[in-house]
C-alpha cells in the first residue's frame, strides 16, 4: 500500500446511529467518520420503523425488559449484557430527546409507548407511527454537523484494516467516485467499526443497498473473532413488490390487529402458534416462507384492523404500497420474508472491544451477546446507543486526551476494480436459496463452495472479498449448528438441542478450513 495518512483522530467507520452517537459522546475529542454515502443515506438506522425499546412505563423495569430479551433470544443471550443494556435504556431515550428527537408524547408530556412482538408490555418509544429511525437520525445529523470535533469524510469506502502484529492501527480506505481508487492506509489511535449488518447479502432484504456485510468481513479478514454468525433475522412481512431493497410492512401493523392470509383467504398463523400474528419473528417468517414456497401468495390484511387510517398512521407503508400499485384499503398487501437484521457479527466484550487490540465495534456489525438467536423487536437501535456511549467512555479511559487534530486529507489516487454485478447477484441468490429462512447441510455445503468460487473470481476486488468473508462465516456457522434455534432453522435438524444452547464463535480461518474439508469429502 503506497499511501499512508496518519491522524490523531479516532477513526469511525459508518454513519448510522452507532457511529453518530459515538462521535457525539466522544466530543470534543476529534474523530473522523468514514462513509461511502452522504449522511442520512445508506444507513439502516434511518429506515428503522419500530423505535427504541426502553422500560419507561411505571409498571415496567429494566429487569422485565431483560427477561423478555433473554426469552426471545432462545437460550443464547448473555444475561449480563442484557442487564447492562436494559438498565441504560431510559437515560439514552432522555439523551436523544435532549438532542432534539421528537418522540411521540401524550398531553401530560409522557412518552407514548407501543407494544411489539415478544415484549410483555408496551415499551417501544416511537415517532409518528413508523418514523422513529428517520427522526432520530435527523436529530443526530443536525447535532453532528454543528459539532466542530467531528469530521465526516463521505464517498469513502473502508476496504480493510491496517494491522501491526495483533494490533489494529488504522483502516484501509478507497474513494468511491469517480472510480474506485488505490487503497490508502489511514492510521489513527483507535478504530470503531459501526458500519451496519449484512442484509444485502440476500436477494431479498429490507436494508439499504450498500450494506452487504463488508464491515464485519474486513474485521474477519484481519483475524477478529466472530460470534453468532448463523443468526440472521428475516422480517416476516416485507412488501413483495419487486423492489430492491424490499419495503417493510412494519410489525406494528400486526400489533394493531392486521392479519396474515394466503390466496385462499385462510389465516395460516392461527394453527402455527398460540400468539398467531404476534408470534416471535422467526416463527412468523417460517410460516410466511412456507406459504411462499407452496405458491399460496401470503398477504397482510390491514382492512378490518386499520382501514382508512393507514395512510395517516403508517405513511412509509402507504407510500410503498402506492409505488407498487397496491391499495391496502381494498386489498391485502402481498408479503415475503426478507433479511432484516444480523444478530451475529464481530464478537465484543462488555466494553465493545473486539478480540484485536485497538478495535471497537458497535451496532449491527457487533455481536455483543444481547440478541442471542433472535433479536427482540426495537432492541437493535437500543444496543447501538448503549454500546456507542460505552465505547466512547472506554476510549476516553484508554487513550491520552487530544484537544485538537487537523482534518484528514486523503490523496487522490487512480481507479481500482469495481465489483462484477453478476457476481453480486449470484452471491445474493446463493444466500437466499441456501442460507436463508430454511437451511440444510446439503444446501449450506453448496453455498460454501459457490461463495469460495465467487471469492476466487473476484479476489482483486476488496469490496467483494469483504462480502464473501461474511457470507462464508454465516454459512459455516449455520452448517455447524445442527439444530433449529431462534432465527436459525435446519429442516434436517428441526428441533432445538439443549446441548447447543450456547453462543457460537469462529474465525474466518475456521470457515475456510470447513469449506476445504467439505470440498475434500465431495471430491
Catalytic residue list: 281
Handedness of CA 515, 516, 522, 523 (dihedral sign): positive
Find residue 125's DSSP bridge partners: 52, 113
Q: Residue written as cell 443515506?
A: 41
Q: How many residues does the chain have?
A: 523
Please, are residues 113 and 56 in contact by the beta-carbon 8 Å criterion?
Answer: yes
In Å, the largest CA–CA distance within the chain is 70
Residue 443 has φ and ψ, to the nearest 5°, of: -65, -40
| β-bridge pairing 299-301 and 333-342 | antiparallel
**Contact in structure between 379 and 69 (CB atoms under 8 Å):** yes
Which residue, 311, 351, 353, 352, is CA-closest to 328? Answer: 311
Listed in sequence order, the residues at least 6 apart from 373 whose beta carbon sits closer than 8 Å to its beta carbon are: 73, 74, 75, 76, 228, 231, 282, 343, 485, 486, 487, 488
User: Who contacts 322 (Cβ-Cβ below 8 Å, separation ≥6)?
Assistant: none
Q: What is the DSSP string of 494-520?
A: -S--GGG-S--EE-HHHHHHHHHHHHH
Strands (E) in 136-231, as ranges, are: 150-154, 156-164, 167-175, 184-187, 191-193, 226-227
Q: How many helices (H) and strands (E) does the chain have?
A: 15, 20
Q: What is the DSSP letter of 248?
A: B
Cα angle 244, 248, 251; round to 5: 160
Query: Residue 418 carries which DSSP code?
Result: P
Residue with cell 413488490: 241
CA distances from 506 to 135, 144, 326, 509, 515 (A): 37, 36, 44, 8, 13
Determine the Cα angle at 466 with ends 461 and 468, to 5°. Answer: 95
Give the DSSP per-residue string, 41-101.
SS-GGGG--S-EE---STT--HHHHHHHHHHHTTT---HHHHHHHHHHHHHHHHHHHHTT-
Do residues 14 and 363 touch, judged by C-beta distance below 8 A? yes
Nearest to 49 by CA among 112, 137, 118: 137
Amino acid at each position: 500500500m503506497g499511501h499512508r495518512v496518519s491522524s490523531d483522530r479516532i477513526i469511525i467507520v459508518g454513519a448510522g446511529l452507532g457511529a453518530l452517537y459515538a462521535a457525539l459522546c466522544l466530543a470534543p475529542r476529534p474523530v473522523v467518520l468514514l462513509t461511502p454515502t452522504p449522511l442520512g443515506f445508506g444507513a439502516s438506522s434511518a429506515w428503522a420503523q419500530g423505535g427504541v425499546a426502553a422500560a419507561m412505563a411505571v409498571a415496567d423495569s429494566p429487569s422485565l425488559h431483560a427477561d423478555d430479551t433473554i426469552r426471545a433470544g432462545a437460550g443464547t443471550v448473555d444475561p449480563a449484557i442484557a442487564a447492562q443494556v436494559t438498565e441504560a435504556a431510559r437515560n439514552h431515550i432522555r439523551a436523544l430527546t435532549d438532542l432534539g428527537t421528537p418522540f411521540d408524547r401524550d398531553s401530560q408530556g409522557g412518552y407514548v409507548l407501543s407494544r411489539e412482538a415478544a415484549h410483555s408490555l408496551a415499551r417501544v418509544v416511537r415517532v409518528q407511527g413508523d418514523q422513529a429511525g428517520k427522526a432520530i437520525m435527523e436529530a443526530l445529523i443536525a447535532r453532528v454537523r454543528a459539532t466542530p470535533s467531528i469530521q465526516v469524510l463521505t464517498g469513502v469506502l473502508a476496504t480493510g484494516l491496517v494491522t501491526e502484529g495483533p494490533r489494529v492501527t488504522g483502516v484501509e480506505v478507497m474513494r468511491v467516485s469517480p472510480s474506485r481508487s488505490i487503497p490508502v492506509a489511514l492510521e489513527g489511535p483507535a478504530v470503531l467499526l459501526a458500519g451496519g449488518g449484512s442484509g444485502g447479502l440476500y436477494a431479498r432484504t429490507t436494508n439499504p443497498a450498500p450494506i452487504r456485510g463488508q464491515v464485519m468481513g474486513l474485521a474477519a479478514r484481519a483475524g477478529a473473532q466472530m460470534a453468532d454468525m448463523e443468526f440472521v433475522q428475516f422480517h416476516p412481512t416485507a412488501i413483495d413488490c419487486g423492489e430492491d431493497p424490499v419495503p417493510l410492512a412494519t410489525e406494528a401493523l400486526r400489533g394493531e390487529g392486521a392479519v396474515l392470509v394466503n390466496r385462499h383467504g385462510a389465516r395460516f398463523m392461527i394453527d402455527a402458534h398460540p400468539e398467531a400474528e404476534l408470534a416471535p419473528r422467526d416463527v412468523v417468517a417460517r410460516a410466511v416462507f412456507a406459504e411462499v414456497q407452496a405458491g399460496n401468495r401470503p398477504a397482510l390484511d390491514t382492512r378490518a384492523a386499520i382501514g382508512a387510517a393507514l395512510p395517516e398512521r403508517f405513511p412509509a407503508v402507504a407510500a410503498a404500497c402506492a409505488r407498487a400499485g397496491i391499495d391496502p384499503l381494498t386489498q391485502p398487501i402481498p408479503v415475503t420474508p426478507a433479511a432484516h437484521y444480523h444478530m451475529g457479527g464481530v464478537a465484543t466484550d462488555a466494553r465493545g472491544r473486539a478480540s484485536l487490540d485497538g478495535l471497537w465495534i458497535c451496532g449491527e456489525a457487533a455481536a455483543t451477546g444481547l440478541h442471542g438467536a433472535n433479536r427482540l423487536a426495537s432492541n437493535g437501535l437500543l444496543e447501538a446507543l448503549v454500546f456507542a456511549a460505552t465505547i466512547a467512555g472506554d476510549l476516553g479511559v484508554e487513550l491520552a486526551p487530544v484537544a485538537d487534530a487537523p482534518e484528514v486529507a486523503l490523496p487522490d489516487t487512480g481507479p481500482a476494480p469495481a465489483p462484477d454485478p453478476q457476481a453480486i447477484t449470484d452471491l445474493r441468490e446463493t444466500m437466499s436459496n441456501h442460507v436463508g429462512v430454511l437451511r440444510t447441510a446439503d444446501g449450506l455445503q453448496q453455498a460454501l463452495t459457490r461463495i469460495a468460487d465467487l471469492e476466487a473470481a473476484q479476489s482483486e476486488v476488496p469490496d467483494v472479498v469483504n462480502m464473501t468473508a461474511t457470507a462464508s462465516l454465516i454459512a459455516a456457522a449455520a452448517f455447524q449448528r445442527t439444530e433449529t434455534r431462534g432465527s436459525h432453522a435446519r429442516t434436517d435438524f428441526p428441533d432445538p438441542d439443549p446441548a447447543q444452547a450456547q453462543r457460537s464463535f469462529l474465525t474466518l480461518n475456521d470457515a475456510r478450513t470447513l469449506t476445504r474439508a467439505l470440498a475434500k469429502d465431495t471430491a
